Amino acid sequence: MGTAWNGDGRINGLADVRAALGRVNAAAQHRGTTAQLAHAVQTADQAELAPDVTQILPADPALQPLLPWPGGLRKGATVAAVGSTSLLMLLLAGAMHDTGSWACIVGLPSFGVLAAGQDYGVPLERLALVPEPGPDWPSIAGTLLDGVDLVIVAPPADVPEGLARSLSSRARQSGAVLIPTRAWPGAELTIDVTSRRWHGLGPGHGRLRYCTLEARSTGRGRAVQPRTTTLAVPPGADTTRRTIPPAPPRTPLPPLVI
């Protein structure tokens, strides 16, 4: 189960999860913007027919063209984000930045915490990590869904459909947003990055300044129609500077005759 959680953001097992949730719940008593942990549960169809701004976690404006819900992510939804850690960072930053929301990442030990904070504006003081959950990952994710606003989970391949739907149901009941990093049976929305391109390097000089991601979303209900957009990451990157054009070809000099 690991040692006692000391609040440094890294969680090692179920005991740490419970300790972390205790801290989240204590903070929630003093912050009205944190998602309520108990509320009347709506069905997904009801929520889609009558979207309520209090049931939305905000999203980065760059992601809005991919989303079927006005303003952000519907609380209780399962949104698979596939193919890019930058996409995960955008989702975290939008949902957490001005809302006081808490998030946790289950799995994904290579997640770039410093980049998330410095380049994307993710509030690291409200982000918990479970980098190596092991076979207990479903229990850990399920427990976190009961008390954290947004849970990213990096599951193993081929998650059984029954398990996937069970975790999605738990998210729906608690009002948390579940974000798997793989295709997920029953997800309301799947966002995947289909291609990427780096910018900034000229011929033999320069440095990488930003990356453009071609993203596509598909889903159920109002999300059944595919949507696409181009994302420039990290946010705030200078995308206006033109790459220095290549130098014109030089006319070769005749050989030196001595």
Sheet of 150-153, strand order? 127-130, 103-106, 150-153, 177-180
Integer Cα distance of 43 and 84 in angstroms:
30
* pLDDT per residue as tens digits for the range 123-162: 999 999 999 999 999 999 999 999 999 999 999 998 999 9
Mean pLDDT in residue range 236-253: 52
Residue entry with tokens 């453009």:
212
> pLDDT digit string (tens) for 24-42?
666 554 444 333 433 334 4
Instruction: Compute the distance between CA of residue 251 and CA of residue 245 in angstroms, rounded to an integer.
Output: 18
Residues 6+ apart with CB under 8 A from 187: 78, 79, 80, 168, 180, 219
Domain boundaries, the chain: 57-191
What's this model's pTM, rounded to 2 decimal places?
0.75
Cα(81)–Cα(160) distance, integer angstroms: 18
| CATH annotation of 57-191 | 3.40.50.300
Contact at 8 Å (CB) between 34 and 27?
A: yes
Q: Is the predicted pLDDT of residue 53 greater than 90, yes or no?
A: no
